């Protein structure tokens, strides 16, 4: 192959130009996302059930639907929440299930579910969006217009245009919907001898359109239609309810008619303390976030042209900000790493041309990796691009060895021609370099066995590293020989003065190590055992928290608060946050939107958008800001708070059903008992070091106005129960009887009782009911009216009721926290028969990932050993090289301990990378020692010459790998948190691995081979 490359070297350069061009194109067109979407395949089912309590929703709707859904193929989990008036069910499928296939299965089963629940309730599938689908939030504001007008503009003008953007699945809309309210006065109905049904019948039958077919006239073929639209509020007022003796009773005689909003709204969006018309754009599954947001911004520019002058549209939040910051963090690390590697090459080689070739190999390798990523459909995200940033030094290793060997052979110049020098130099290192790079590639393969979240996060990272390593081999053995021919000349000296000094110092130390081999080896074993002990002192977690540049404050209020009271609390949180100069903006979601989450108005999410860290004055970290804000809000009466970040919360919720880092679920049949156990566990969690924002989810304590028909009274007066119940169902909640038409827009006409009547139990009790026989009863005579306490929210998981205790963590590792908590709960909480506790949240991910790693890491070491055995065909030589692996972990463990980071999945991947790097250097050195022995040198001379000639490439590869990671260590930018554990482990591991390769491997090799 090398002969062909050098023979057709001009063609190779042409091929290189094509690769660079295609690589640039692939980079420019690569889909960009924040990070891989870790959310599971899920389908949500909503069922609106106005007027039903949580218990009734659970028994009549939720339980029946989730039972049907549990039997669907490949369903892994079914979670549900039953609220007053709403059933929300999430059906989770096994990873790998096609989302459209899953939705089709659910759709097919919905017909079965519908047949089992009351006919008036209609379950529907939620939008085809993932947990990270809330890509953009915007609001409409106006100084003069009411919110209902803004909602109308959003519904009829803006929404169709936004939904026409490719990739938009749905828009969740907040704010009051305009309606025309007919407030019926029962006493006036009584005075005119009318019933509620008389009014509803009159409104329903008025304002209709009747088709009359076609009429053939002299003017032509005409469409016949009778039109009686309701087009104004006066039309509504003048609707005749009853006609007698040539006069009629108008609707305005028995009711007030006014413009208002559709009643029973369960949510609002506030901005800087004031309610606005808010909207959340949901992206379709598998749509690229950045591309979609870019398209949305372009569409907003067009929308602004058609908006009334007094209406403003404000973008409050979009995920592309995080995407851009995270990607720019990686790009910055890549550029800085390349510059540092270039400086190192000059330092070691003393030759600018050789250094340029080595550094040039890195961007060429990256461009080839982008080609692979583009072809397999892998997006450029924080994890996939992190693989490139982390391995930047590794990608130059093959080229370093090749160019350094060519450089050295050119100096000696024994071959007849330059072509011959390059050919022999490349062939000399071809086998060990290829094999070493393949070993590094192989160590990342077991990462593909990761499941769930860790699989979705770290498979892209492993894949990009593998792409780049394979690309680095192509660059080193195809492009570099051709470039070396045209670019390199015979150097004036083989080594720089610095390298000569380093070589001299190194061999003095090596000779002493060889002389006292057993002592040195014993010392290293003792240090290794110390590092193992140190390893047990390191905490554990799933992954470091990604800093999103924003804070989300969760507010938990009493279950019985009103929407207006919730708005006041949201305003307090927003105004308190805005007092800090570090805050850019603050807005809140209260309760739920029309197609929102299963929340009530007692739950508020306040988004606090932070300014860039470079503009901060009072704090250095987000956590400091959170602590101060938490302290300021703690005195707000009747409210408890939790702190997280927008995307982090969504991921936590979708993976475990909770919006916090740690969750303890208590399962059992009796809701009172599971809640009692939950509150007891809450006290235990609060007493455990590291717990913050501890909260037991409110499930009970919701007050209900219960109206129960008196069956004997109804039977006596010939009143059917449904007649009485329909009054409550229709006129308390509000009943859409018709619509008012204004051009293309229609607004509902809602019949209901006056608000002051609904809000007064005394007035409700006196509502008159006229029987068919002319008797007059009050509602309190026909039914028992009482205030009772019921359940506010009922959770199920796989059909079992559960209570929820949630907590965030601060200043402590997750693994140690859970371990202590488990011991405390096991000691202090006695569970009744049939009740059990389950820990959820990030702990589940960590536990699963660590179990997998306990299997993967031994497999990686075994795989390396097998490859080494195949290379050397010697058990002894393979064992010598693989001894470098445990010794190489010393530096990784020590640096991780000193850094303060916990052992996480990224850190574990760092150790896996160290295994490969340690093996590479070992292979380079031992292979050359064996080659020299084969050429006839004795073992002492072979070790001396091999270490002399391989010192520089080993130092260069180690330095390049370390310096490539150095920018990540000192970066404070968004996204660097997830990369730092890998960087610390790899840099520490490279340090000890390099020392041990240069000192311990020669000692061990001589011990094993000295006869």
Please check the confidence at residue 412 and state whether its pLDDT lies above 80: no
pLDDT higher than threshold 90 for residue 160: yes
Residue 184 CA to residue 203 CA, distance in Å, equals 12
What are 979-996's pLDDT values in tens digits?
788 888 888 888 888 888
- pLDDT score for 30: 85
Distance CA 963, CA 195 (A): 85
∠ CA 806-810-811, nearest 5°, is: 145
DSSP alpha helices (H): ranges in 709-813?
A: 711-716, 721-727, 755-758, 761-765, 779-782
Which CATH architecture best describes the domain 129-319+731-770?
2-Layer Sandwich (3.30)
Confidence band for 657, pLDDT divided at 50, 70 and 90 = low
Q: What is the pLDDT of residue 106?
A: 93
The residue among 351 and 508 whose pLDDT is bigger is 508
Mean pLDDT taken over the chain: 85
For residues 747 and 149, the answer to whether their CB atoms sit within 8 Å is: no
Residues of the chain with CATH 3.30.2090.10: 129-319+731-770
DSSP assignments along 963-975, one per residue: HHHHHHHT--STT
pLDDT band at residue 906, thresholds of 50, 70 and 90? confident
User: What 3-state class would DSSP assign to 974?
Assistant: coil
User: What is the mean predicted confidence (pLDDT) over 725-739?
Assistant: 83
Q: Decide if pLDDT at 646 tops 70.
A: yes
- pLDDT grade for 587, boundaries at 50, 70 and 90: very high
Confidence of residue 654 (pLDDT cuts 50, 70, 90): low
pLDDT band at 413 (very low <50, low <70, confident <90, very high): low
Q: Which CATH architecture has domain 550-702+793-840?
A: 2-Layer Sandwich (3.30)
Q: pLDDT tens, 659-684? A: 677 888 999 888 888 888 988 998 99
Closest of 664, 1008, 620 to residue 843, by C-alpha: 664
State the sign of the Cα–Cα–Cα–Cα dihedral 22, 27, 33, 37: positive
At residue 3, does pLDDT exceed 80? Answer: no
What confidence category does residue 467 fall into, taking pLDDT thresholds of 50, 70 and 90? very high
pLDDT in tens, 472-530: 999 988 888 888 888 877 766 666 677 778 888 888 888 888 888 788 888 888 988 89
Question: Average pLDDT of 420-443?
Answer: 81
Angle ∠(124,92,317) on CA atoms, nearest 5: 75
pLDDT of 69 strictly over 70 = yes
Q: Cα separation of 952 and 175, whole Å?
A: 68
In whole angstroms, what is the distance from residue 991 CA to residue 890 CA?
9
Token couple for 965:
């990671």
CB contact burial 512-543 (16+ within 10 A = b; e otherwise)? ebbeebeebbeebeeebeebeeebeebebbbb
Chain centre to alpha carbon of residue 808: 17
With 70 as the cut, is the pLDDT of residue 656 above it?
no
pLDDT confidence bin for 756, thresholds 50/70/90:
confident
Q: What is the pLDDT of residue 414?
A: 59
Do 556 and 641 form a contact (C-beta atoms < 8 A)?
yes
State how far Cα 372 lies from the chain centre: 25
Stretch (H or E) spanning 146: none
Please give the radius of gyration of the chain, using alpha carbons only, rounded to the nearest integer: 36
Output the pTM of the full model.
0.83
Residues 298-339 have pLDDT tens digits of 999 999 999 999 999 999 988 877 777 767 777 777 787 788
- Where do the CATH 1.20.1640.10 domains begin and end in the chain? 1-30+351-494, 495-537+874-1010
Q: Which of 71, 177, 134, 942 is nearest to 552 (CA)?
A: 134
| Cβ atoms of 980 and 969 closer than 8 Å | yes
Extended beta strands in 446-565, E state:
550-556
The helix/strand/coil state of 33 is coil
Q: Concatenated DSSP letters for 396-454? A: GHHHHHHHHHHHHHHHH--SSSHHHHHHHHHHHHHHHHHHHHHHHHHHHGGGGG--HHH
pLDDT digits (tens, 9 = 90+) for 170-221: 999 998 999 999 999 988 888 888 888 889 889 988 877 778 788 887 777 8
Q: Is the pLDDT of residue 655 over 70?
A: no
What single-letter DSSP state applies at residue 90?
Answer: E
What pLDDT is stored for residue 1010 in this prediction? Answer: 63
Instruction: Tell which CATH architecture fits domain 34-126.
Output: 2-Layer Sandwich (3.30)
Of 371 and 697, more confident: 371
Classify domain 495-537+874-1010 by CATH architecture.
Answer: Up-down Bundle (1.20)
Q: Is the pLDDT of residue 276 over 90?
A: yes
Flag the least confident range among 165-174, 583-592, 619-628, 877-886: 877-886
> What stretch(es) of the chain map to CATH 3.30.70.1430?
34-126
The answer to whether the CB of 273 falls within 8 A of the CB of 574 is yes
Give the HSE-up count for residue 615: Cα atoms under 13 Å, Cβ half-sphere.
9
The residue with tokens 């140690």 is 816
Over the stretch 524-581, which tens digit does the pLDDT of each residue have? 889 888 988 988 888 888 777 777 788 999 998 888 888 899 999 999 999 999 989 9
Greater model confidence, 447 or 300: 300
The CA distance from 233 to 240, in Å, is 14
Q: Render pLDDT for 215-253 as a digit per residue (tens, 0 to 9).
A: 887 777 888 888 888 889 999 999 998 887 778 899 999
- Strands 550-556 and 168-173, sheet pairing: unpaired
471 neighbors 372 (Cβ within 8 angstroms) = yes
Helix 497-515 × helix 980-1009 angle, to 10° = 60
Could you give the residue range(s) of every CATH 3.30.70.1320 domain in the chain? 550-702+793-840
Task: Say whether pLDDT at 844 is over 80.
Answer: no
- CATH fold of 1-30+351-494: Multidrug efflux transporter AcrB transmembrane fold (1.20.1640)
Q: Specify the higher pLDDT residue, 75 or 973.
A: 75
In angstroms, the CA 235 to CA 225 distance is: 20
**Residue 121 pLDDT exceeds 80:** yes
Give the pLDDT band (50/70/90) at residue 843: confident
Closest residue by Cα to residue 124 from 36, 204, 65: 65
Phi, psi dihedral angles at 904 (to 5 degrees):
-130, 180
Residue 151 confidence (pLDDT)? 93
Model confidence band, residue 620 (pLDDT cutoffs 50, 70, 90): confident
What distance, in Å, lies between the first and last C-alpha atoms of the chain? Answer: 39
């Amino acid at each position: 192959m090398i002969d062909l490359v050098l023979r057709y070297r001009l063609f190779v350069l042409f091929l290189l130009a094509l690769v660079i061009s295609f690589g640039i194109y692939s980079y420019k067109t690569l889909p960009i996302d924040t990070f891989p979407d870790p959310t599971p395949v899920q389908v949500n089912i909503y069922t609106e059930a106005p007027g039903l309590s949580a218990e009734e929703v659970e028994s009549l709707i939720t339980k029946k639907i989730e039972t049907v859904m549990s039997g669907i193929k490949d369903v892994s989990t079914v979670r549900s929440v039953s609220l007053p008036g709403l059933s929300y069910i999430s059906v989770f499928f096994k990873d790998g299930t096609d989302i459209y296939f899953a939705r089709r299965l659910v759709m097919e089963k919905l017909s079965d579910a519908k047949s089992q629940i009351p006919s008036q309730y209609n379950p529907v599938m939620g939008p085809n969006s993932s947990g990270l689908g809330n890509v953009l939030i915007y609001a409409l504001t106006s100084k003069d217009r009411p919110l209902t007008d803004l909602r109308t503009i959003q519904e009829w003008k803006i929404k169709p245009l936004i939904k026409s953007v490719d990739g938009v699945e749905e828009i969740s809309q907040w704010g009051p919907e305009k309606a025309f309210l007919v407030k019926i006065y029962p006493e006036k109905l009584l005075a005119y001898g009318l019933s509620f049904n008389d009014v509803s019948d009159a409104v329903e039958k008025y304002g209709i359109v009747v088709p009359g077919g076609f009429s053939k006239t002299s003017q032509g073929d005409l469409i016949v239609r009778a039109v009686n639209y309701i087009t104004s509020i006066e039309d509504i007022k003048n609707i005749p309810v009853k006609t007698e003796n040539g006069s009629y009773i108008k609707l305005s005689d028995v009711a007030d008619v006014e413009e208002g909003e559709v009643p029973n709204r369960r949510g609002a969006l506030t901005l800087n303390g004031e309610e606005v018309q808010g909207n959340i754009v949901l992206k379709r599954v598998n749509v690229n976030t950045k591309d979609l947001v870019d398209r949305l911004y372009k569409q907003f520019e067009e929308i602004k042209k058609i908006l009334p002058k007094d209406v403003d549209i404000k973008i409050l939040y979009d995920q592309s900000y995080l995407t851009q910051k995270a990607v720019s963090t990686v790009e910055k690390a890549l550029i800085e790493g390349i510059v540092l590697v270039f400086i190192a090459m000059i330092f070691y080689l003393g030759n600018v041309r050789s250094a340029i070739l080595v550094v040039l190999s890195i961007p060429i390798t990256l461009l080839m990796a982008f080609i692979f990523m583009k072809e397999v459909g892998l997006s450029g995200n924080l994890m996939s691009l992190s693989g490139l940033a982390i391995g930047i030094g590794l990608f130059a290793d093959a080229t370093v060895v090749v160019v350094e060997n060519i450089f050295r052979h050119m100096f000696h110049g024994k071959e007849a021609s330059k072509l011959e020098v390059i050919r022999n130099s490349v062939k000399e290192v071809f086998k060990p370099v290829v094999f070493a790079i393949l070993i590094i590639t192989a160590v990342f393969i077991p990462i593909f066995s990761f499941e769930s979240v860790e699989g979705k996060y770290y498979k892209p990272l492993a894949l990009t590293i593998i792409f780049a390593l394979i690309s680095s081999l192509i660059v080193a053995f195809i492009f570099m020989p051709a470039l070396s021919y045209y670019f390199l000349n015979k150097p004036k000296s083989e080594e720089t003065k610095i390298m000569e000094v380093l070589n001299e110092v190194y061999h003095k130390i090596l000779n002493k190590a060889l002389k006292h081999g057993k002592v040195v080896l014993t010392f290293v074993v003792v240090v290794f055992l110390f590092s193992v002990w140190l390893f047990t002192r390191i905490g554990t977690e799933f992954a470091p928290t990604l800093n999103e540049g924003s804070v989300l404050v969760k507010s938990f209020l009493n279950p019985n608060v009103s929407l207006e009271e919730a708005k006041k609390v949201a305003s307090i949180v927003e105004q308190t946050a805005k007092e800090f100069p570090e805050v850019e903006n603050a807005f809140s979601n209260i309760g739920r939107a029309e197609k929102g989450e299963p929340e009530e108005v007692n739950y508020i999410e306040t988004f606090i958008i932070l300014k860039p860290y470079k503009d901060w004055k009072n704090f250095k970290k987000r956590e400091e800001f959170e602590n101060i804000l938490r302290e300021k809000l703690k005195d707000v009466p009747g409210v408890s708070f939790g702190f997280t970040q927008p995307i982090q919360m969504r991921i936590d919720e979708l993976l475990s059903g909770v919006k916090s880092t740690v969750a303890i679920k208590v399962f059992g049949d009796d809701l009172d008992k599971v809640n009692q156990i939950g509150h007891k566990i809450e006290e235990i969690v609060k007493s455990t070091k590291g717990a913050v924002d501890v909260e037991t989810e409110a499930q009970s304590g919701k007050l209900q106005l219960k109206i129960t028909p008196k069956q004997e009274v109804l039977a006596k007066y010939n009143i059917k129960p449904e007649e009485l119940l329909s009054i409550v169902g229709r006129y308390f909640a509000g009943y859409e009887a018709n619509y008012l038409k204004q051009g293309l827009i229609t607004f509902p006409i809602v019949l209901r009782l006056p608000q002051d009547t609904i809000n007064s139990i005394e007035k409700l009790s006196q509502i008159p009911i006229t029987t068919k026989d002319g008797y007059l009863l009050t509602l309190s005579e026909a039914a028992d009216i009482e205030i009772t306490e019921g359940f506010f929210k009922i959770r199920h998981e796989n059909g079992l009721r559960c209570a929820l205790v949630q907590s965030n963590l601060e200043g402590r590792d997750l693994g140690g926290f859970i371990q202590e908590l488990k011991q405390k709960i096991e000691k202090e909480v006695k569970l009744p028969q049939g009740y059990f506790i389950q820990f959820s949240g990030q702990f589940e991910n960590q536990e699963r990932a660590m179990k997998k790693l306990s299997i993967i890491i031994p497999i990686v070491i075994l795989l390396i050993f097998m490859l080494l055995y195949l290379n050397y065909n010697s058990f002894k030589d393979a064992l010598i090289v693989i001894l470098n692996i445990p010794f190489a972990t010393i530096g990784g463990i020590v640096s991780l301990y000193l850094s303060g980071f916990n052992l996480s999945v990224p850190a574990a991947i760092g150790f896996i990378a160290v295994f490969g790097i340690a093996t590479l250097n070992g292979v380079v050195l031992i292979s050359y020692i064996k080659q020299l022995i084969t050429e006839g040198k004795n073992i002492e001379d072979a070790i001396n010459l091999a270490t002399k000639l391989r010192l520089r490439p080993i130092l260069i590869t180690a330095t390049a790998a370390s310096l490539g990671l150095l920018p990540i260590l000192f970066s404070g930018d968004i996204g660097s948190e997830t990369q730092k554990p890998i960087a610390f482990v790899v840099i520490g591991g490279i340090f000890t691995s390099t020392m041990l390769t240069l000192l311990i491997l020669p000692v061990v090799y001589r011990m094993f081979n000295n006869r």
